[in-house]
Amino acid sequence: MAFTTGPGTMDAVVLSVVGKEAEGTYGYRITQDVRSVIEVSESTLYPVLRRLQKDACLETYDREFAGRNRRYYKITPDGRERLASYLTEWENYKVKLEQVFYGEMTQPETSATDSAGKESEQ
């Protein structure tokens, strides 16, 4: 895998997953959702959730379910702000990468075949 997931990306994914639910969601669900997109071990999530909570990007509340109290995580306004800035970063990064991968070469190619990837019209 060329593109590994650093802590920043994890934060963004978790914030996004939790932010999709207006009322918030719980740890097991969050883990399943995240693991459906990124390959991480199940024990990776808790440190991220804990850190985001310490940074006041997530808040927790308990709600009763099947006779026990289940802890839910919910995104805060600060969390939404941080997620928005992550998404902006991602957009810029994605555009730059795609320019390198798929964009036109500034120097003329000497060989007939284009080995640097397809050209695309932006």
Partner 1 sequence: MTKREFLMALNDALGPMTGDERSAAIKYYSDYIDDAGEDNLDAVLAELGSPQQVAASILEDAGINAAGTTKNVPPQARTEEKRNTPGGLPIWALVMIVLLLSPAWMPLLGVLVGVLGCVLGLLVALFAMTLALVIGGVVSIFAGLLAMTGNVLAGAMGVGIGCAMTGFGVFLTMLCVFLCRTVIPIIARGIVNFFRNLFHKKGERNA
Q: What 3-state class would DSSP assign to 63?
A: strand
- Quick one: which of 32, 79, 27 has its CA closest to 53? 79
CA angle 7, 30, 56 (to 5 degrees): 60
Please report how close the Cβ of residue 11 comes to partner 1 at its closest, in angstroms: 7
Please report how close the Cβ of residue 113 comes to partner 1 at its closest, in angstroms: 30
User: CB within 8 A of 94, min separation 6: which ones?
Assistant: none
Query: What residues make contact with partner 1 under the rule CB under 8 A?
Result: 3-9, 11-12, 26-29, 31, 41-44, 46-51, 53-56, 59-60, 68, 70-71, 82, 85-86, 89-90, 93
Select 56 or 105, whichever has its Cβ closest to partner 1. 56
Distance of CA 29 to the CA centre of its chain: 16
Select 55 or 104, whichever has its Cβ closest to partner 1. 55
Please report how close the Cβ of residue 58 comes to partner 1 at its closest, in angstroms: 9
Please report how close the Cβ of residue 121 comes to partner 1 at its closest, in angstroms: 27
Give the phi and the psi of residue 24 in degrees, each rounded to 5.
85, 175
